[in-house]
Structure 1
Amino acid sequence: MDKAAVFICLIAFTFINVDAWNTKPFPKDFKFGVATASYQIEGAWNEDGKGENIWDHLCHHGPFVVEHNQTGDIACDSYHKYKEDVAMLKDLGVSHYRFSISWSRLLPTGFADKVNKAGVQYYKNLIKELKANGIEPLVTLYHWDLPQPLQVLGGFLNDNFVDWFGDYAQLCFDLFGDDVSNWLTFNEPISICQQGYGNGRKAPLITSPGIGEYICGKTMMIAHARAWHIYDKEYRSKQKGSVGFVVDSSWYEPNSNKTADIEASEMKLQFVWGMYINPLINGDHSSILKKQIAKRSKQQGFKRSRLPEFTKEEQKYLKGTLDIIGLNHYSTSMVSAQKNPDPDAMGFYVDCEVNEWQADDWEKSGSDWLRVVPWGIRKLLKWIKVNFNNTKILITENGYSDNGEKDLKDDRRIHYVKSYLSNIRDAMDKDGVNVVGYTLWSLMDNFEWNRGYTEKFGLYHVDFNSRNRTRTKKKSADFYKKVIATRCLADKCAA
């Protein structure tokens, strides 16, 4: 790593005092919202012409990787209860609601030859209800639920995916673009590629570390650019909206001030941001990322890097195709440089040659991967600012899980949200980071993928044993409602 990169890292790692709450009000145009996703809340998995997606297929046919073999067949039943959901949003006072469209509900085969009218009407009804209540729809096109017929053809490993996604995105712009100004193409590439096509932990459970996962990543980047160019050329002048991309990222804190550990932190960040954001802003993977994977590939006897290169034409096509960065951030990890990296190992989690762990004294949540480390989000936001020209950032997910028991007095969630929001305000106020909004995960308890219904993030409790899927407000909902109304974390806001 060159000295300039190390210097940038040192800037990010300077001590940040997080003992005091930031009581300055958020700007008047700062947006507060909540988020959900189609498979996690809609249910109605085979109603009204909807096709099968990869999570339907996995949950019904196995291998059964979800706790207690639970499924999203009914979930929160939001397909039938969307008006009740919007009423909850209205009560909270949110400015925006982030939800995703089910590709299979619109296009049952995955292809644009057959449009499901009932699916179109569901989303038109939802969007209409939101707009009638003064809530801005923030729409994610892809939140992990690929149509199963497209997966049979290879999914993200098929070059034709770019055309399939482009057709789907264009249909959404056509159908909903007059009422939707802000679009997000893909949610969490690490969960999609590294866990779906690398270590095989999430649907479609393909195990191809260091090869399939990187092909998936390249395909996703070009598919995003396809959607962006379609919007930019055919819709932007009329609809005047934006097209963003959502990256999932922790902060990686160096274990010491040694150069090797600081470089290890930068390497981990580049394996996320250099792989999934740098191409959309600068047209290519970061040089640090390319050099690292090429080095290991050569050592392992490959004739070329396992990280697929973008052609000159692709680089030009990718560059500048990001209107806003969507950031999903939950927690932080400690990192150090590996002294004796495994020369034969392949994949996102080992190619970086970095040790990663969480400190024992960090507060635990209901998820084994989520420790409460609020100062991490400020450091991450500052790093993004320095590395990507202070590009506009929307926090698209941040939240706290409990262990699944019905706890309406969820003080630990309140503490988490308040702590993270305070650090976000510090990043804006003291570091000059261009954060335009915050989206809490989630509106209500829902299907949390491999954890099923055993892990709960909601502001509203959902009784999954009730046929009515009864929603009950938690204490955190009232807290968040007050924050939105006052735009402040304290009873008395600072001037």
Structure 2
Amino acid sequence: MGFRKDFLWGGAVAANQVEGAYDVDGKGLSVADVATYKPNVDVKDYKKNVFVSSETIAEAMADKSTKYYPKRRGIDQYHRYKEDIALFKELGFKAYRFSIAWTRIFPNGEEETPNQKGIDFYKKFIKELKDNGIEPIVTLSHYEMPLALALKYNGWADKRLIDLFVKFSKVCFENFRNVKYWLTFNEIDSVTRHPFTSAGIIEDKTENLEETEYQALHNQFVASALVTKLAHEIIPESQVGCMLTKLTTYPATAKPGDVLASMNKNLMNNYPADVQANGAYSPLILSYFKKNNFNIDMTDEELKTIADNTVDFISFSYYMSLIAAEDEDGLEMTTGNTVVGGKNPYLKATDWGWTVDPMGLRISLEELYDRYKKPLMIVENGMGAKDVVEEDGSIHDDYRIEYFKQHLREMKKAVEDGVDLLGYTSWAPIDLISASTSQMSKRYGFIYVDQDDEGNGTLNRSKKDSFAWYQHVIATNGEEL
């Protein structure tokens, strides 16, 4: 009744948050390279933290430093990957989820031929994982599309991005044929929450922002379907998954109006996975477009492509849950994973305001499996916290151990209830630059990295108490938590 014998225990990161070396070996600028660390902005105000404009992009391109552009430096995994992979092997990892930076392969997104140095780096990286018995899980697009495509085409608002992404993906499949598990777009639903980060849409260059966001999403659905088809052709044994931000929302009360409000929140959250897993738009979503006079350019050929090339499994991130009400004025609001929503009074929260809801993970797993009846994979789950380094160098992060322990217990219950779960990769196994706030002090890892928010530090790696705990969890295949 426990986890399958080949369960994929591991950890997950994104290239733009760990690699650094933003201008090394021919890499071009990505949308992540112009994301700033804003020390004077409340860390809970993610909208202000992720907002960019034509003006701020121009300022960032003129500034070659890394001080206030932390994703340019990451944690220097580009040069330290062997050291990190050795630590992952010591942890007992069966899998490691990472992304391939599009700008290392096609620096501006439109080059005729790929950058060989970028291909060579990922070949070495994947070989190192394989040599250490770690299965790579590769995300093709994780908030790091070429900045040049955002500036020239307004990102995924333009259908020309589809062929460019397919070209990039084809190079990846042809060069990394020993990778079995692929994800197309990270948290694809997030286009409507942070359009620049996720889709390269520049808000002050966009007339009807919401309509443009849904057009960009449709273009990504088409690209995902084409890429899924291509992966199956080039790597017949490959498995391709979609990736959703699971934002499970409960009704604030049993009032029917609150139940309806939560139902609508969950519908909008799930619909990108509906399209990729079921191969069709929900009639409710099409009705939403019509009611709002959104003119989404979708052809019969594109819809057939989506229908004929559904994903093999569903992957998702889960950090927290929210509540919804018919009248939101009466709700206390809180932040979450790039979202603002109702705060559940029955739950505690992290320093960044994210509610902690272990049972919500079980609810999410069972809902998704019942909805899609396809294998699931949890590819992000964790908590950002402020860690204290003791005089002897130790880091006692009992709070992190407790967080994971509670979530893994609920995950195990879902498996015992019949959910087909392929694996679990924590976010993140090693400290990295935060996606939303670009902080280093928002720490997730079992492995500590000596670097502060302004980039000061040795970058030395050290083990937290949670390292030994997770190591034991993996060694017992989740039987001893």
Q: Which bin holds the TM-score, normalised by the shorter protein?
A: 0.7 to 0.9
Partner Cα separation in structure 2 for residue 247 and residue 121 of structure 1: 30
Partner Cα separation in structure 1 for residue 224 and residue 388 of structure 2: 39
Match of 1:317 in 2: 305
Q: 1:256 to 1:308 in 2, by over 3 A?
A: same
Judge which range, 110-119 or 394-403, deviates more: 110-119
Report deviation, 1:362. 1.9
Match of 1:12 in 2: none
Partner Cα separation in structure 1 for residue 267 and residue 424 of structure 2: 24
Report deviation, 1:205. 4.9
Q: Structure 2: any 5+ residue segments left out of the alignment?
A: 38-54, 61-65, 330-334
**Given residue 450 of structure 2, which amino acid in structure 1 is its aligned partner?**
D
Match of 1:220 in 2: 220
Match of 1:91 in 2: 90
Match of 1:289 in 2: 285
Cα pair 1:267 1:288 within 8 Å, conserved: no
Q: Deviations over 1:298-332 (max 9, x none)?
A: xxxxxxx3262643332221124211111111000
Q: Structure 1: any 5+ residue segments left out of the alignment?
A: 1-23, 298-304, 341-348, 350-354
Match of 2:450 in 1: 463
Cα pair 1:143 1:187 within 8 Å, conserved: yes
Report deviation, 1:57. 3.4
Partner Cα separation in structure 2 for residue 269 and residue 307 of structure 1: 23
Aligned ranges for residues 357-436 of structure 1 at < 5 Å?
Answer: 357-368=342-353, 370-388=354-372, 390-403=373-386, 405-406=388-389, 408-430=395-417, 432-436=418-422
Match of 1:36 in 2: 13
* Residue among 23, 27, 30 paired with 1:50: 27
Q: 1:108 to 1:201 in 2, by over 3 A?
A: closer
Cα pair 1:58 1:204 within 8 Å, conserved: no
Q: Look up the SS of the partner of 2:210 in the other structure.
A: coil
Query: In the alignment, is residue 486 of structure 1 matched against residue 472 of structure 2?
Result: no
Query: In the alignment, is residue 242 of structure 1 matched against residue 216 of structure 2?
Result: no
Match of 2:160 in 1: 160
Partner Cα separation in structure 2 for residue 429 and residue 201 of structure 1: 35
Cα pair 2:103 2:109 within 8 Å, conserved: yes
Cα pair 1:194 1:213 within 8 Å, conserved: no
Partner Cα separation in structure 2 for residue 104 and residue 89 of structure 1: 26
Partner Cα separation in structure 2 for residue 94 and residue 285 of structure 1: 37
**Given residue 3 of structure 2, which amino acid in structure 1 is its aligned partner?**
F
Partner Cα separation in structure 2 for residue 182 and residue 202 of structure 1: 23
Aligned ranges for residues 196-235 of structure 1 at < 5 Å?
Answer: 196-197=195-196, 205-206=202-203, 209-232=209-232, 234-235=233-234
Cα pair 2:147 2:200 within 8 Å, conserved: no
**Given residue 215 of structure 1, which amino acid in structure 2 is its aligned partner?**
Q
Q: 1:483 to 1:205 in 2, by over 3 A?
A: farther
Cα pair 2:192 2:210 within 8 Å, conserved: no
Q: 1:356 to 1:49 in 2, by over 3 A?
A: closer
Q: 1:76 to 1:110 in 2, by over 3 A?
A: same
Cα pair 2:35 2:69 within 8 Å, conserved: no
Cα pair 1:215 1:308 within 8 Å, conserved: yes
Identity %: 30
Cα pair 1:264 1:335 within 8 Å, conserved: yes
Q: Look up the SS of the partner of 2:70 in the other structure.
A: coil
Partner Cα separation in structure 2 for residue 245 and residue 125 of structure 1: 26
Q: 1:75 to 1:185 in 2, by over 3 A?
A: same
Cα pair 1:336 1:356 within 8 Å, conserved: no
Partner Cα separation in structure 2 for residue 27 and residue 49 of structure 1: 42
Match of 2:41 in 1: none
Q: 1:404 to 1:161 in 2, by over 3 A?
A: farther
TM-score by length of 1: 0.82
Cα pair 1:112 1:168 within 8 Å, conserved: no
Q: Deviations over 1:458-491 (max 9, x none)?
A: 1111111566410111111111111000123537
**Given residue 457 of structure 1, which amino acid in structure 2 is its aligned partner?**
Y
Q: Between Structure 1 and Structure 2, how many residues are aligned?
A: 437
Report deviation, 1:404. 5.7
Match of 1:134 in 2: 133
Q: 1:109 to 1:339 in 2, by over 3 A?
A: closer
Partner Cα separation in structure 2 for residue 307 and residue 410 of structure 1: 50
